[in-house]
Amino acid sequence: MNPHNFQTYENLGLPMYLTFLDYEAKKKSMRKKNRKMIKILNQVAEKYKNEIKFATVNVRKYEDKMNALGLYGGIDAVPCSAINVDGGKMYPLDQINNKKNVMNKVYISNFINEFLAGRIKPMGLKKQQETAKIINKRINDKKLKKKEKKNVDQKKKIKYRKGIREKYGGKDDDIIHLSRMQSDGNDDGKTTTIDTFKKIALDETKDVLILFHDSRPDKCIDCEYLAPYYKKLARRFKYLKIPSVVIARFDVGNEPAPANINAQISASNKLPMIFLFKAFNKNPPFLIYSGAAKVRPMMDWLHKNAGIKFDLPELAQFDEVQKEKFKDQVEMLYGGGSDL
């Protein structure tokens, strides 16, 4: 039903059984539910064709009409139905007791029979208020439960939680720390964190990889699992002496990240996050690493996306000792032939 054909239905002089559906639903399950609902409505409509007219309404276009029919919850409550009559009286299907939103042929037919027999009273103001309160709370609780489940599922899928946990800092930490006060060379002066961040991260001549993490106790366990790999990444790039690459970190437990970065972190609701501030392209949105928490995949990702191209040698993730060990292992597994 739409404004163009509403008058045609009204001129028939019969009550209208209106069902709100989400015609633009993206979920396959909802589209399937719509087709099933329309099939049921066609069957019931045939039975009552001389007493009630049936029509469906696109909730995305006419959600504001629901309340006038005694229906609440908006798009989250569909499918839902009500009988429209002259005079503004409300005859909605019971949303409170129909918790599972059962809309089968028997249920709808029983409702229409009761209406035609005059045994259904129009919804009063008190009932409207009660229904609105209960249905809106029910929908909000359902959304909250769904959000909590999503958070739990995300925690189960955490990709960084492998290996050894470490803290950042210490003698073996070659990562530039951006969320710490840095000396500006004056006797009594220090640059602010934001000044330091801008100076390093926004240097157009550098590809700056920045890990955003939280060092406060138990605030980000995944950050600690990533630490050994990110530290090694910094050591390897320091050894390779690639002048255009900077490996840094920003501890949001010390100080909030700059506003545009903090917004992206808040939107994703997860740490750690690794951002690339590309050379000659310091405008958001920034690239975010989403691969495995391993040194070589991180090196390859930076190599691929860097604004200033550089070469990575073979087995760049290993120091000289590790290279020899790795080659020995490969030789034992695949090389050398056999004496037999």
Band the pLDDT of 237: cuts 50, 70, 90. Answer: very high
What does the pLDDT average to over 262-266?
80
Strand partners, 274: 211
pLDDT, tens only, 13-45:
789 999 999 999 888 888 999 999 999 999 999
Find out whether 187 and 163 touch, Cβ atoms under 8 Å.
Answer: no
pLDDT of residue 184: 43
For 70, counting Cβ atoms within 10 Å of its Cβ (0-12 exposed, 13-18 middle, 19+ buried), the class is buried
Band the pLDDT of 71: cuts 50, 70, 90. Answer: very high
CATH 3.40.30.10 in the chain, residue ranges: 6-151, 176-332
pLDDT of residue 13: 75
pLDDT of residue 11: 65
Band the pLDDT of 144: cuts 50, 70, 90. Answer: confident
Q: Say which range, 129-138, 207-216, 327-336, has the weakest mean pLDDT.
A: 327-336
pLDDT, tens only, 161-177:
667 888 887 766 788 88
pLDDT, tens only, 171-209:
667 888 887 654 444 433 444 677 888 899 999 999 999
Distance of CA 308 to the CA centre of its chain: 32
Band the pLDDT of 338: cuts 50, 70, 90. Answer: very low
Band the pLDDT of 102: cuts 50, 70, 90. Answer: confident
44 vs 54: CA distance, rounded Å: 9
Find out whether 165 and 225 touch, Cβ atoms under 8 Å.
Answer: yes
What does the pLDDT average to over 235-243?
91
Q: Are β-strands 176-177 and 245-251 bridged in parallel, bridged antiparallel, or unpaired?
A: parallel
Q: What is 6-151's CATH superfamily?
A: Glutaredoxin (3.40.30.10)
pLDDT of residue 313: 85
Whether pLDDT at 337 is above 60: no
Whether pLDDT at 113 is above 80: yes
Q: Which CATH number fits domain 176-332: 3.30.1490.150, 3.90.1150.10, 3.40.30.10, 3.40.1110.10?
A: 3.40.30.10
pLDDT, tens only, 40-62:
999 999 999 889 999 999 999 99
pLDDT of residue 339: 38
Which residue, among 127, 273, 157, has the nearest Cα to 209 in the 3D structure?
Answer: 273
